[in-house]
Every structure is written in C-alpha cells, then in structure tokens.
Structure 1
C-alpha cells in the first residue's frame, strides 16, 4: 500500500496557508511537506493547498534539471506519477522545515536544487 502524500495534520496546515493566500494575505510560510521521487531527482516542497479544490498545492518545485521554482501542482497528479523504476512519489517522513519557504527558494535557485 502506498503511503498518503499528506497526513491529516499536514493537510489542515496546507489548507490554512492556502486560505490565507486566497484572501490575498502576503505570507511566507514554513514548508509543510516534502515529497520526492525515490528513483528520480524530483522534489516538491509544499507550503499551501488551494481551499477551493483541495488538490492544487503551491510550493517550491524541483524537477531535477537545475531550475527549481515556485509553482503549483495537483496532489492527484503527484499521486499518479511513477519514476523510471515504477516507484511512486513519497512523503519525506522525517522532513521538518528549518526556514521559511522564501529562504528555501533563495538557496535552491543559488544551488540549482532544494537543500535537504
């Protein structure tokens, strides 16, 4: 069985951050969840979830090509992705954000990948 991409607590925090963004609040949240492909070099550091559809996540996206950027991705799309060895996207069970999303973005753009 595949693990869920978010826990109920993470989903609640993502939705709260998404609600703040939806009403136009300028926020710089701590990333809530780190998703990755175990058999490729893609990483998603997600900070918010659109409260209207509950599926569109916003955060730092690193597809492993040296150009990480802020963007959106649907969790349902991530759940269907398989890497080259047929491994699904996984949630980093040990991830704990150590800085706001903006700092992850600065470091990732400088280094060409999301820092661990």
Structure 2
C-alpha cells in the first residue's frame, strides 16, 4: 500500500487509477482503493456493496468485516491498476 497516492492527491483527476482491489468472497462487496493515508489508515475509493459509491473507509473497518460464512475480506492479487472508469464497467 506504500505506493498509493495520499488522500486528496487525485481529486482533480476525472478518471483516477485504482491501485488495489479488496473483496468479500461470501458477501458480494468490493472496495477499489484509489488513495490511502498510512498514518490514519483511511482509504478513499469506490465501493460496491448495497450501492456503487465513492467514499472513505478505514483499513481497520475492512479488516474486521466478515461475510455470511465468516470469511474475511481478501485482496485480489491478480488485479492490475487501472482507471476507475474500467472497474465501473465490470459486473
């Protein structure tokens, strides 16, 4: 997570690069991380849960989440950084 832009660094970019993808294997939620502050552990990105929306979330919140089967959030190790417009086109 060290190479993520700082919070606010991409605010002028209409199509920022999503650097990291996290997902729940048993709850159908996905977080695409665009920016991150390692000191506060706050991330900014796109979240697909009940709705698709941009917002902030803490790494602590994500680490504590469990899906219906009790599985933790996982990082998609095969995800390649890409513009946010490309991830919004995915199902």
Give the TM bin, normalised by the shorter chain.
0.7 to 0.9
CA distance in 2, matches of 1:32, 1:106: 14
CA distance in 2, matches of 1:106, 1:44: 12
Q: Which position in structure 2 is the counterpart of 1:26?
A: 12
Alpha-carbon offset, residue 25 of structure 1? 5.7
SS of the residue 1:77 aligns to? helix
Q: Which position in structure 1 is the counterpart of 2:24?
A: 37
SS of the residue 2:63 aligns to? helix
Structure 1: 5+ residue runs without aligned partners?
1-10, 108-114
SS of the residue 1:12 aligns to? coil
Structure 1 moving runs of 4+ over 6 Å: none
Aligned CA distance change for structure 1 residues 12 and 43 (closer, same or farther; 3 Å):
same
Q: Which position in structure 2 is the counterpart of 1:58?
A: 44
Task: Tell which has more relative contact order, 1 or 2 (C-alpha 8 A, sep 6+).
Answer: 2
Q: Which position in structure 2 is the counterpart of 1:7?
A: none
More strand by share: 2
Give the paired residue count: 90
TM-score normalised by structure 1 residue count: 0.67
Deviations 1:21-62 (A, max 9, x none): 25x862343111100000110000011013552x11000001
Q: Which position in structure 2 is the counterpart of 1:93?
A: 77
Structure 2: 5+ residue runs without aligned partners?
none
TM-score normalised by structure 2 residue count: 0.83
